[in-house]
Structure 1
Amino acid sequence: MINCNVYELIFKRFDEDGDGKLSPWELQRCVGSIGEELLMEEAREVVESMDSDGDGLVGLEEFVGWMEREDEERKMKELREAFGMYEMDGSGCITPKSLKRMLSRLGESRSVEECGVMLRQFDVNGDGVLSFDEFKLMML
């Protein structure tokens, strides 16, 4: 996860008037400064999605919380995609056979038995396969 100090620096860059709050206008200008376009209505919607106290503005805590949630969602999406690469047979888990196939695609030759041994290291419930939750624990 990105350090909160980085989020604070980003927030301060967006907070052009230095009042400790981001307005839709400030958000729109900042996005524009990096060459992207954000319509005012879109900026209002983004601010509204971050605004937990209902004041129509985004404070530092709201901004950091929102950024952390976005970062976590991105990580989970990437983990699910990676899991899907190993889980090839539609079983919803990584089997020794599916691990062997993926490793072969990556240029590493392993037997099904060796792959089973590799999986057992992270197989929390002992069923011989890795569920997404076990994979997530292994990767994080």
Structure 2
Amino acid sequence: MNRSSDYERVFSHIDRDGNGMISPSELQRCVGLIWNEEILLEEVEIVVESSRGNNGELGFEDFVSLMESAQEDEKVEDLRKAFRMYEMDGTDCITADSLNRMLNRLGESRSVDECAGMINRFDLNGDGVLNFDEFRAMMV
């Protein structure tokens, strides 16, 4: 099954009244079932409005954009977790030393100089370390 038909199936399931639009209350019910927790209708209305909701509701294209945005947010959070694993010095950047330590933990024996060379390939601003944006660019 392709992504579009997956979205269509989910959209149809959420659109309980079958009017081709997802209302905030329909989205609220769905989110409550998925996460097993209450979410305020006002919070859902804000999400719908920020997603270009037509007349306070989500059409299919708006729904797809919302889902893809949520998936992108999840990917960025996963990258942040990975970044924090390599960034061990509390400097909010990956240094040659911190990269060396993490690679050694993973069984990859590299010298600090080799790690510096690896960093230099993706160090866009030339400061000798990787910040999160450079790390994200490297991982994409």
- Partner SS state of residue 128, structure 1: coil
Give the aligned CA root-mean-square deviation in angstroms. Answer: 2.7
2:72 partner amino acid:
E
* Distance (whole Å) between structure 1 residues aligned to residue 28 and residue 123 of structure 2: 47
Alignment of 1:24-63 (within 5 A): 24-27=24-27, 30=30, 36=36, 38=38, 42-43=40-41, 45-51=43-49, 52-53=52-53, 55-63=55-63
Identical aligned pairs, as a percentage? 53
The answer to which structure, 1 or 2, has the higher relative contact order (CA under 8 A, 6+ apart) is 1
Q: TM-score, normalising length from structure 1?
A: 0.77
Change (3 A) 1:26 1:91: closer
- Pairwise CA distance, 1:95: 0.9
Contact 1:119–1:128 (CA under 8 A) maintained in structure 2: yes
Give the aligned partner of residue 16 of structure 1.
16
Q: CA deviation at 1:88?
A: 1.0
The 1:38/1:96 distance shift into structure 2, 3 A limit, reads same
Distance of 1:34 and 1:72 partners within structure 2: 19
Equivalents in 1 of 2:78, 2:3: separation in Å?
19
Q: Which moved more, 1:92-101 or 1:54-63?
A: 54-63
CA distance in 2, matches of 1:57, 1:76: 27
Q: 1:19 to 1:124 in 2, by over 3 A?
A: same
Residue aligning to 1:129: 129
Q: Which amino acid aligns with 2:43?
A: E
Q: Distance in 2 between matches of 1:139 and 1:62?
A: 28
Gap runs ≥5 in structure 1: none
Residue 109 of structure 2 corresponds to residue 109 of structure 1: yes
CA gap 1:34/1:90 in 2 versus in 1, 3 angstroms: closer
2:28/2:44 contact within 8 Å kept: no
> Partner of 1:88 in structure 2?
88
Conserved? CA contact 1:15–1:22, under 8 Å = yes
SS at match of 1:21: coil
C-alpha displacement of 1:96: 0.8
Question: Which AA in structure 1 matches 2:125?
Answer: N
Which is further off, 78-87 or 53-62?
53-62
